[in-house]
Chain A
Amino acid sequence: MSFKIAIASGKGGTGKTSVSVCLQHFIKKQITDKIQLVDCDVEEPNDLLFFPNAKKEKAHKLTQLVPVINKSKCTFCKKCADYCEFNAISIIPSVSLAQINSSLCHSCGACLVACEQDAIRETELPIGKINFYQEEGRINLIEGELMIGSAMQTLVIKELKKHVDKANQIILYDAPPGTSCPVVETISDMDFIILVSEPTPFGLHDLKLMIELLKEIHKPFSVIINKVGLGNKDIYDYLRLEQIEILGEIPFTQNFASQYAKGELLNSIPTAISEEFEKITERLKKIYI
């Protein structure tokens, strides 16, 4: 069974992607090369930017099922509209209107069950893709990509997770920002969660929201503080008070930030940062074993 770790944060831009990409690199060196990175930030997937040698192996198209009403069979009884909890169906008998608003549809299938005239069938609507990338003959990275204009990010994440290669010993999931349903979809079946925060008021505030969520769903986690040196000490006081373990502290250096900016994270990692990632990986190894 693979050990599943998610990297999440609440606030965007704290360094989830950097930590995910670096951790994969160090886990390969120190624990196992049977590791896959899964980019679950399907609205804005960025992990690929840091793998200049990765080649796209294949892509898998994702669709959502949306109903279509056959008006020649429809009696405009409105039962489907009553069943639809998402207000996606409009029926106006006087003008023989039976219309589906697919942008509101959650693909639950309730309208199909509701219809007694067999007037509803489903059709596939594209919502995004899963992209598989390989390096040195191994699928190193898989990425979910929400189609621009689609609001079905949670479904893309759900489908993406089905395509993870379970033969890997460790799977890293780079989570989307926020604390709502896409994040829960990503982390719900994880063995461990790493929260990446920064020592600023926004970073701390959103970290607290994530911790509240993780406590509610009973998931083990610890915290990496990124961009140490910026901001203030409040995050340390909070973590000490809550007795939450700090997995690592990554110093803010202009140099590393600039490499990140260029998409060249793994080229030459500054010593202070690589040493910290080595320590983090050793700690993870203990958790994993």
Chain B
Amino acid sequence: MMELTVLSGKGGTGKTSISAALASLAESAVLCDNDVDAADLHLILHPTIKEQYSFSSGWKASIYTSKCTNCGLCINHCRFDAIHTDENEQLIINPFQCEGCRLCERICPEQAIHSDLSTNNYWYVSDTRFGSLIHAKMGPGEENSGKLVTQVRKKAKAIAQAEGAEWIINDGPPGIGCAAIASLTGTDRALIVIEPSMSSLHDADRLIKLIKNFNIQCFALINKYDLNLDLSQRIEDYLKSQNVPLLTKLPFNKEMVQAMIHGKTIVEYATESKLSIEIKSLWHKIQLSTHTVDLHQAI
């Protein structure tokens, strides 16, 4: 079994549309939406939810005002500036700033602080027309998206093993922080989606540096390459200098948005389009890459 994670650094370069298209081509794959913060893959895959689990992102402290003597010890110990004085001169905790370390609860001489597990996040095991999908919905403003990514990936792996699936396809989050790190850790291949813009190149560069820290094999594609040929060339040169294989250059096609509107992958919506043909050949190359140690040989 191979695990493929689709990432980009910059948001909006086409990770989800491409992940969905690959999902529609893979004959034996488990799909996993790692962008738990703003998950969109389900809008194309229309999952039927089979199992639902709640996920706790950690503790949230609050103060029993009746017990609190306003001594201020908790304020002095809180490193997250989460404790404030309200209009009635009463100490209160802002749940969005509380990191859940529970130190205030432990040091309060009046036992006036308690913590509750926040359970505003859910993750799901679903059926789709392309196989199982593991996905999540984070409550707004919740913490620890990295942990939730780790959770959905763990389940995806268990299901892939049970089903004997050949692939796990992870639709990754943007950025290079905790969610991206959680999405990369232990994956077999990272596919980087770059669009021809300075921002996307800059962001891909930071991502590639991160991936190299992890020693994970990665390859790239340029999406909408024909929107700016000069920049596409620059990206090609950059990838060469970094020894990152370029698998394909996908043309811009307005039908990509139309496919999204119809809740379909581009391969289903415009099967014979140049873009779909290119994506099919991309998937072929990704599959070939499993048979070789040198990724450059696959292309």
Contact = CB atoms under 8 A, between A and B. Distances in A.
A148 B210 contact: yes
A206 B143 CA distance: 17
A153 B181 CA distance: 12
B40 A11 contact: yes
Contact of A44 (B99, B206, B231, B261): B206
B261 A216 contact: no
Nearest to B99: A106
A44 B174 contact: yes
Contacts of A148: 176, 206, 209-210, 213
B203 interface: yes
Contacts, number: 182
A237 to B, nearest CB: 13
B38 A209 contact: yes
Interface string A194-230: 0000001110011001101100110000000000001
B10 to A, nearest CB: 6
Given A12-B11, A85-B59, A216-B141, A113 B106 contact: yes
A43 B141 contact: no
Interface stretch (B152-160, B191-199, B286-294): B191-199
A10 B58 CA distance: 22
A200 B260 CA distance: 8
A182 interface: yes
Contacts of A254: 227
Contacts of A49: 198-199, 202
Contacts of B12: 11-14
A231 B43 CA distance: 14
Given A107-B79, A153-B177, A261-B198, A179 B140 contact: yes
A260 B203 contact: no
A183 to B, nearest CB: 7
A113 B103 CA distance: 8
Interface residues on B, range: 35 or more
Given A11-B12, A110-B102, A177-B175, A201 B138 contact: no
B107 interface: yes
B64 interface: no
Interface string B156-174: 0000000000000000011
A151 B146 contact: yes
B103 A261 contact: no
- The winner among A107, A200, A230 for most chain B CB atoms within 10 A is A200
B182 to A, nearest CB: 8
A176 interface: yes
B38 A177 contact: yes
A251 interface: no
Contact of A108 (B9, B101, B260): B101
Nearest to A65: B79
B3 interface: no
B33 interface: no
A248 interface: no
Interface string B25-41: 00000000000011010
Contacts of A232: 261
Contact of B79 (A86, A109, A180, A210): A109
A123 interface: no
A215 B138 CA distance: 16
A46 interface: yes
Nearest to B58: A85
Given A201-B261, A202-B260, A151 B202 contact: no
B276 interface: no
B196 A44 contact: no
B111 to A, nearest CB: 16
Interface in A77-121: 83, 85-86, 106-110, 113
B198 A12 contact: no
Given A113-B107, A260-B197, A261-B196, A201 B260 contact: yes
A178 B38 contact: yes
A179 B13 contact: no
Contacts of B11: 11-14, 177
Contacts of A261: 195-198, 227-228, 231
Contacts of A209: 38, 140
**Among A151, A180, A188, A210, which residue has the most Cβ atoms of chain B within 10 A?**
A180
Contacts of B140: 179, 209-210, 212-213, 216
Contacts of B274: none
A153 B175 contact: yes
Closest 9 pairs (CB-CB, A-B): A12-B11, A13-B12, A213-B140, A108-B101, A43-B175, A178-B37, A151-B178, A261-B197, A153-B177
16 contacts: A43-B175, A43-B177, A108-B79, A108-B101, A109-B79, A149-B181, A149-B213, A151-B146, A153-B175, A179-B37, A179-B138, A182-B177, A200-B260, A205-B43, A209-B140, A210-B140
Given A153-B175, A209-B140, A261-B196, 7 more contacts: A13-B11, A85-B59, A148-B210, A180-B141, A182-B177, A209-B38, A210-B140
Interface of B: 9-13, 16, 37-38, 40, 43, 58-59, 77, 79-80, 94, 96-97, 99-103, 106-107, 138, 140-146, 173-181, 195-199, 202-203, 206, 209-210, 213, 227-228, 231, 254, 257, 260-261, 263
